[in-house]
Structure 1
């Protein structure tokens, strides 16, 4: 979907360039290296274009306005100014990208409030564009709170990655056949769940045979899996979707992580482009095994912070596991264990 991204003085990045984007793209790095900022930015661009396209059917929006609002509610900047997204010590940021064979750019300075003036002027519509973001925290339990904060109170709290997700989850399930390879993913996910999550009126419940449970009674990891099953069932997640996942491993047992990564790989084979950030060795190792086994390119972007600057190293997991901070941490732990064993 995205084929290019270039940043200048955005957030913690002085310069960043992303090319040769594959079906699955993974960002790793220590805390505060910008992983979530990157996938949120890609999501914001895609989602703003999706919403811009839908709104052209009823009014005549300006993409600059839609983009500015989306940036504001996704990043929820301090002091309520978009200028907070400009890298500290710099005066202006610039973003260039290419999505579905169309080029887009925008730029603004540190004093910008909520309007963007320097931006692609005639943004083309993108019919069929569909972007979804699954954050680390599950949303099924907090669905009403997220809705209230964003619809009635309109205050900072749960950002629009959460709000957009609950809107997608609210879409009613309709009859009809689910795409075959997505049906396989759905069946596998529900096997992991040992049941299914269904919507009853405005609430979600978990069903296992004749037993029914509220979301507060269900394990966090199960609720994350349930989000995927719900999105497949109501066809919010389908061929052509751009799926962003922040820390897919959160609250999952290692074996469930391996199974979830298998599902994500199958989703990519079904025509869904995936961008993920992770701290998990299990996630990247499982992806490396799948990439080598199927000779499928999976891009790994390793971010490192040094002297206040972020550098990026890119590699293809189909060519094996490169050196990276997650591997280094695992090796350090192993070496410490060996030293303890060898001590007299």
Structure 2
């Protein structure tokens, strides 16, 4: 599991640490508070480790280059030095990620172009992970891999990795899939199955097959996650990063997503979520409050801007998060509603 991350002078962060649970980790906050940056920083570090182990080399310089390359691919700056917080006097960023209680620490300056400096490396092993970005890849999949290998695209590494994961065929032993309960839950709630034929995705219903392009975007997103379980890219040992699960979903499906996340965590996955959704966060908080019955372990991270920097609150439930912009907006709407109602009395 991922234990923690420390970010100092990195993008919006001055000096912040996050301690994660081996369950569901939920990041909330207004736009621009760094929720996605936390997820991408974690994923890029895991990706760099994966690529470095595949190279079968012990060169520190090679790992520094691989790490910088992945951070750049995930964040898409002109050069990595642009990720240093502009308000920092030292003009230096420091990142430390702990996996299985083993630390990887690195830094880079505002003038860095293509490399970082390893400050410490306890050399954790291979970690399987997958990153689900806000925009769906299900309908874009056809031809995307070939295009991304030949052309410079505006898509960051999360979309390219997702396309490669979707390219794999389904596992033969579906009945023995450790996430079978999650598959059945999603197929039952959505009322369809997922197929890939000749490089295209289809939704299979009782009425027949329908091309992915003809399905609503929110459903395409859930269909892609279902397929990733069927082909083994999401399994009981996978670390799942899911950025804005509520994107393009009708509120009626948010309950399904919450139940699906609950089932995945019960199957053993460590999950990281960045969200703005009221219902999703409150359902996960409810699961946490009654975890002796639900079996779900949840930790919330409330991010907000405070005197030019990012402040972070941590709690197992939403009630202890003082700066909750989701709840604040609903409260503001209630006040506005009361104002209009009183004006007509």
TM > 0.5 fold call = yes
Deviation at 1:122, TM superposition (A): 5.8
Unmatched 5+ stretches in structure 1: none
Shift of 1:120: 5.1
Aligned residue in 1 for 2:81: 83
Cross-structure match for 1:221: 218
Cα distance in 2, alignment partners of residues 47 and 122 from structure 1: 15
Which residue of structure 1 lines up, in the alignment, with residue 184 of structure 2? Answer: 187
* 1:114 positional shift: 1.0
How far apart, CA to CA, are the structure 2 residues paired with 1:200 and 1:123?
43
Runs of 4 or more, structure 1, over 6 Å off, are none
Alignment of 1:13-162 (within 5 A): 13-56=13-56, 62-77=62-77, 80-90=78-88, 91-116=91-116, 118-119=117-118, 124=123, 126-127=125-126, 129-144=127-142, 146-153=144-151, 155-162=152-159
Q: Give 1:198's aligned residue.
A: 195
CA shift at 1:60, angstroms?
6.0
Of 143-152 and 308-317, more deviation after overlay is shown by 143-152
**Is the partner of 2:125 in helix, strand or coil?**
coil
CA contact (8 A) 1:63 1:123 kept: no
Instruction: Encode CA deviations 1:146-168: one digit per residue, 9 max, x unaligned.
Output: 42452111x24111101101111
Matches within 5 A, 1:312-331: 312-317=312-317, 320=319, 322-323=321-322, 324-331=324-331
Query: Are the counterparts in 1 of residues 166 and 224 from structure 2 also a CA contact under 8 Å?
Result: yes
Judge conservation of contact 2:104–2:121 (CA < 8 Å) in 1.
no
Scaled by the length of structure 2, the TM-score of the pair is: 0.92
User: 1:305 & 1:93 partners in 2: Cα distance?
Assistant: 19
Report the Cα offset of residue 251 of structure 1: 1.0
Aligned residue for 1:143, secondary structure, equals coil
1:272 aligns with 2:269: yes
User: Measured at CA, do residues 159 and 149 of structure 1 come closer, stay the same or move farther in structure 2, by a change above 3 Å?
Assistant: farther
How many angstroms does 1:252 deviate by? 1.0
**Unmatched 5+ stretches in structure 2:** none
Secondary structure of the 2:290 match is helix
- Give the 5 Å matches for 1:231-242: 231-242=228-239
Deviations 1:88-127 (A, max 9, x none): 13311001121122110110001111122x1157663614
CA contact (8 A) 2:104 2:120 kept: no
Residues 113 and 149 of structure 1, relative CA distance in 2, 3 Å threshold: farther
Task: Confirm or deny: 8 A CA contact 1:146 1:158 kept in the other structure.
Answer: no
SS at structure 2 position matched to 1:310: strand
Report how many residues are paired.
Answer: 336
